[in-house]
């Protein structure tokens, strides 16, 4: 076990040095009064991360120091404490003490107990956070005593263990150096393309010489051109292999993050008085080093949350009829060019009501807005900064930093996707979807208007070629039906305000009439963007935009294609946001025209896109719409409130639409209310079954147009 830890200490040291460096520069900004809230935040997060990762390695003294620093920084962040001399002094001392501890760790492979000065410093930091001033001179005097004592006997330890940080079979390289190497490889490959051109030229000259000149010259040229071709081919292979190898240098197994996590879980569970078993699957999967580094923090945060808020104490669990021991599963698996990590607990689950209440109390949204949100949207609120539902602040979590850090790292820094699934009483599952590497990704190159753009494959769901007639017009915009789901359609060039082509190219006549749709996806949300041409698909090296341009969220990076052309990579989550905003602005305008008392409709469908489109249509016609995600959710909502009509899909998880209809008919309140089934199941037997269970109307999505839905509704409601 002891050796086991040492493997990770080197990594911790690097990380700690990183954070300490960042903290000291942050502190000097703070001292000059030049620190923005974001910088105070980042100081706080550094302390928070150090606390977390040191706890994972049982570096108790570092944990204590970091925790005390975090206390004071948290008070600064909340502006309960103002920056003054005493505060700055304590902060600097705290960072210095941390550096000392880390230094100690480097030299001796372990940390020393907190010295008296250091534990006093901890008290002082926490004291300052509560607004108490601790007299500095008492500390100074004790420091004098302290320095007389020899440092705690390292001699016994050093003899026993060989230096633990010198792992013999690995070399630590700065990532920037590796990146330079990879950049050079990229350049080499693109310059090699011109070598190929030269070989072709040589061949041409050879042929011309043969026709025009007699003698030895053509022969010599022939030999030259042949040699040239051979060597170009050889180099082709070599450079390609070199490039692949260079990229592989960056890959590390996920065990580096996941294995210590299991221990962390056991330790934390013990402090919390809970019984938890932690199972890790798939830790052999390799990820880019940069991803691994940045993955540690969010994973620790998620585990900590699962332990603290998710899994209940043994007594509570037994009362709920669950085994006393909780189960925490970390499951990594590969899914095409992705790594998916599920962190699943079997605890209490997230309480949607508690989150809603909290959002209301914090004044993040008004009550009316919250009422409109789906459960998924509500649970997503926990990713907002400063949003913590835990009533008490514990040592383990509950300060409301965790989740916004998690989301920021996963979505913004790692280009991944995070989603939550939770059901009350059964547990919560966080799913992280991550690209294998940030340096190289599968990219789809397309043309929209006059612009060539790239989409990273993780966001591409599918490509469709459809006839213009396949588009349906709902609530003033287009949508397309893809397998039982409405997906909104939008012209990419218009959405992004791209320059239009000056002279449209002649496309192949066979495709001329069809529209090319690229369906992009961020977890459940889909959008079909209309593009003009599909150009290429390949693995490309991603380059970052210069720092001063990164505020542009639309572009996540650039790639170089042949002939040194630069192509913009589109950040899909932002495009979805943009599309949603344009949509909302139109739909609210329409609905405001209708001022008559609204009839209430319940829409039940498991597809987010379909739900929203149906809602938009109905709201545009002046109905008040409530959404439900599946049959059971729909049933619950229908029984809780009084609706004038229910619209339901058939195929849904947990409870299907037929069952929902049948169950609603059993209820007095819904015996005579209109229930409409909207589905892609066209078979007569289904239709008959729909009528048998008591539906008033059966609309097939393929033949769906908004007027037929609205007309049907009107007929049924009047």
Binding-site ranges for another protein (CB under 8 A): 183-184, 186-187, 451, 453, 496-499, 543-549, 551-555, 558, 560, 564-568
Residue holding tokens 């977390």?
52
Helices and strands (H and E) in the chain: how many: 23, 23
Beta-strand pair 645-648/600-604 = parallel
Report in angstroms how near the CB of residue 547 gets to another protein at its nearest. Answer: 7
Largest CA distance in the chain: 105
For the CA atoms of 278, 297, 47, 401, what is the dihedral angle to 10 degrees? -90
- Rounded CA-CA distance 419/442 in Å is 22
- Rounded CA-CA distance 601/184 in Å is 60
Report in angstroms how near the CB of residue 551 gets to another protein at its nearest. Answer: 7
**Beta carbon nearer to another protein, 191 or 707:** 191
Which of 353, 393, 316, 300 lies closest to 49 in space, CA to CA?
Answer: 300
**Beta carbon nearer to another protein, 218 or 557:** 557
At 405, is the secondary structure helix, strand, or coil? Answer: helix
**Beta carbon nearer to another protein, 406 or 448:** 448
Q: Name the strand (E) or helix (H) holding 86.
A: helix 85-108
Report in angstroms how near the CB of residue 183 gets to another protein at its nearest. Answer: 5
At 91, is the secondary structure helix, strand, or coil? Answer: helix
Report in angstroms how near the CB of residue 447 gets to another protein at its nearest. Answer: 13
**Beta carbon nearer to another protein, 29 or 143:** 29
- Return the number of other C-beta atoms located less than 10 Å from residue 157's C-beta: 13
Residue holding tokens 């139109």?
586
CA of 508: how far to CAs of 231, 402, 446, 448, 512, in Å? 39, 53, 16, 17, 6
Report in angstroms how near the CB of residue 570 gets to another protein at its nearest. Answer: 8
- Return the number of other C-beta atoms located less than 10 Å from residue 401's C-beta: 22
> Does residue 649 contact residue 678 with C-beta atoms inside 8 Å?
yes
**Beta carbon nearer to another protein, 298 or 454:** 454
Report in angstroms how near the CB of residue 187 gets to another protein at its nearest. Answer: 5
Report in angstroms how near the CB of residue 627 gets to another protein at its nearest. Answer: 31
- Rounded CA-CA distance 165/107 in Å is 9
Report in angstroms how near the CB of residue 39 gets to another protein at its nearest. Answer: 15
**Beta carbon nearer to another protein, 547 or 666:** 547
Report in angstroms how near the CB of residue 101 gets to another protein at its nearest. Answer: 33
Report in angstroms how near the CB of residue 13 gets to another protein at its nearest. Answer: 30
**Beta carbon nearer to another protein, 326 or 449:** 449
> Does residue 666 contact residue 684 with C-beta atoms inside 8 Å?
no
**Beta carbon nearer to another protein, 141 or 563:** 563
**Beta carbon nearer to another protein, 567 or 620:** 567
Report in angstroms how near the CB of residue 193 gets to another protein at its nearest. Answer: 14
Report in angstroms how near the CB of residue 438 gets to another protein at its nearest. Answer: 15
**Beta carbon nearer to another protein, 190 or 235:** 190
For the chain, percent helix, then strand, then coil, each to nearest 5?
Answer: 55, 20, 25
Angle between helices 216-248 and 175-212 (to 10 degrees): 160
Which of 649, 652, 675 lies closest to 662 in space, CA to CA?
Answer: 675
Report in angstroms how near the CB of residue 364 gets to another protein at its nearest. Answer: 24
At 103, is the secondary structure helix, strand, or coil? Answer: helix
> Does residue 648 contact residue 677 with C-beta atoms inside 8 Å?
yes
Query: Tokens representing 143?
Result: 């420091």
**Beta carbon nearer to another protein, 184 or 213:** 184
CA of 154: how far to CAs of 8, 24, 114, 359, 594, in Å? 21, 28, 14, 52, 80
- Rounded CA-CA distance 512/506 in Å is 8
**Beta carbon nearer to another protein, 36 or 584:** 36
**Beta carbon nearer to another protein, 431 or 451:** 451
Query: Tokens representing 91?
Result: 């902060």
> Residue by residue, what is the 3-state secondary structure of 354-396?
HHHHHHHHHCCCCHHHHHHCCHHHHHHHHHCCCCCCCCCCCCC
Report in angstroms how near the CB of residue 182 gets to another protein at its nearest. Answer: 10
- Return the number of other C-beta atoms located less than 10 Å from residue 429's C-beta: 20
- Rounded CA-CA distance 66/46 in Å is 9
**Beta carbon nearer to another protein, 529 or 635:** 529
């Amino acid at each position: 076990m002891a050796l086991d830890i040492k493997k990770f200490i080197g990594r911790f040291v690097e990380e700690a040095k990183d954070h300490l460096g960042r903290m000291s520069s942050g502190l000097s900004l703070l001292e000059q009064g030049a620190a923005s809230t974001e910088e105070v935040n980042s100081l706080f997060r550094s302390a928070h991360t150090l606390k977390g990762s040191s706890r994972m390695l049982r570096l108790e003294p570092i944990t204590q120091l970091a925790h005390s620093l975090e206390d004071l920084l948290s008070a600064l962040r909340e502006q309960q404490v103002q920056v003054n001399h005493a505060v700055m002094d304590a902060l600097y001392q705290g960072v210095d003490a941390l550096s000392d501890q880390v230094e100690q760790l480097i030299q001796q492979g372990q940390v020393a107990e907190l010295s008296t000065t250091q534990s006093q410093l901890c008290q002082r930091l926490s004291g300052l956070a509560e607004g108490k001033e601790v007299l500095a001179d008492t500390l100074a005097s004790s420091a004098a005593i302290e320095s007389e004592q020899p440092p705690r006997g390292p001699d016994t330890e050093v003899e026993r263990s060989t230096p633990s940080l010198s792992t013999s079979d690995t070399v630590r390289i700065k990532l920037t150096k590796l990146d330079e190497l990879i950049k050079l490889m990229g350049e080499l490959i693109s310059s090699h393309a011109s070598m190929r051109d030269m070989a072709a030229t040589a061949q041409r000259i050879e042929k011309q010489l043969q026709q025009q000149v007699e003698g030895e010259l053509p022969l010599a040229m022939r030999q030259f051109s042949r040699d040239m071709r051979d060597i170009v081919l050889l180099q082709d292979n070599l450079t390609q292999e070199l490039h692949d190898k260079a990229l592989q240098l960056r890959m590390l197994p996920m065990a580096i993050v996941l294995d210590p996590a299991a221990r962390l879980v056991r330790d934390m569970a013990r402090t919390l008085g809970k019984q938890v078993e932690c199972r890790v699957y798939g830790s052999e999967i390799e990820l880019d080093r940069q991803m691994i580094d940045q993955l540690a923090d969010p994973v620790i945060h998620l585990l900590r949350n699962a332990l603290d808020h998710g899994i209940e104490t043994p007594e509570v669990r037994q009362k709920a009829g669950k085994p006393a021991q909780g189960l925490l599963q970390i499951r990594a698996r590969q899914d095409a060019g992705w790594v998916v990590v599920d962190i699943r607990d079997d605890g209490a689950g997230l309480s949607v009501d508690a989150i809603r209440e909290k959002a209301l109390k914090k004044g993040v949204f008004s009550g009316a807005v919250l009422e409109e949100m789906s459960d998924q949207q509500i649970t997503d609120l926990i990713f907002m900064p400063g949003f913590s539902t835990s009533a008490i602040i514990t040592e383990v979590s509950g300060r409301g930093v965790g989740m916004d850090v998690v989301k920021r790292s996963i979505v913004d820094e790692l280009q991944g996707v995070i989603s939550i699934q939770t059901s009350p009483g059964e547990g919560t599952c966080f799913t992280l979807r991550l690209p294998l590497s940030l340096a190289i990704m599968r990219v789809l190159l397309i043309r929209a208007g006059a612009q060539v753009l790239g989409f990273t494959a993780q966001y591409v769901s599918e490509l469709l070629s459809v006839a213009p007639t396949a588009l349906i017009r709902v609530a003033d915009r287009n949508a397309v039906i893809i397998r039982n789901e409405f997906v909104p359609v939008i012209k990419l060039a218009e959405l992004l305000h791209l320059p239009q082509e000056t002279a449209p190219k002649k496309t192949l006549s066979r495709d001329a009439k069809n529209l090319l749709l690229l369906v992009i996806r961020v977890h459940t949300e889909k959008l079909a963007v209309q593009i003009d041409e599909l150009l290429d698909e390949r693995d490309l090296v991603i380059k970052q935009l210069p720092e001063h341009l990164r505020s542009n969220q639309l572009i996540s990076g650039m790639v170089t294609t042949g002939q040194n052309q630069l192509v913009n990579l589109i950040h899909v989550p932002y495009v979805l946001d943009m599309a949603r905003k344009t949509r909302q602005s139109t739909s609210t305008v329409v609905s405001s025209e209708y001022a008559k008392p609204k009839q209430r409709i319940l829409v039940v469908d498991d597809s987010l896109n379909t739900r929203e489109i149906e809602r938009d249509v109905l709201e545009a016609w002046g109905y008040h719409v409530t959404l439900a995600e599946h049959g059971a959710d729909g049933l619950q909502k229908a029984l809780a409130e009084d609706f004038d009509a229910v619209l339901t899909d058939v195929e849904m998880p947990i409870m299907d639409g037929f069952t929902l209809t049948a169950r609603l008919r059993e209820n007095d309140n819904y015996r005579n209310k209109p229930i409409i089934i909207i589905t892609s199941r066209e078979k007569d037997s289904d239709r008959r079954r729909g009528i048998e269970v008591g539906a008033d109307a059966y609309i097939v999505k393929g033949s769906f147009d908004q007027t037929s839905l609205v007309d049907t509704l009107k007929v049924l409601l009047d």
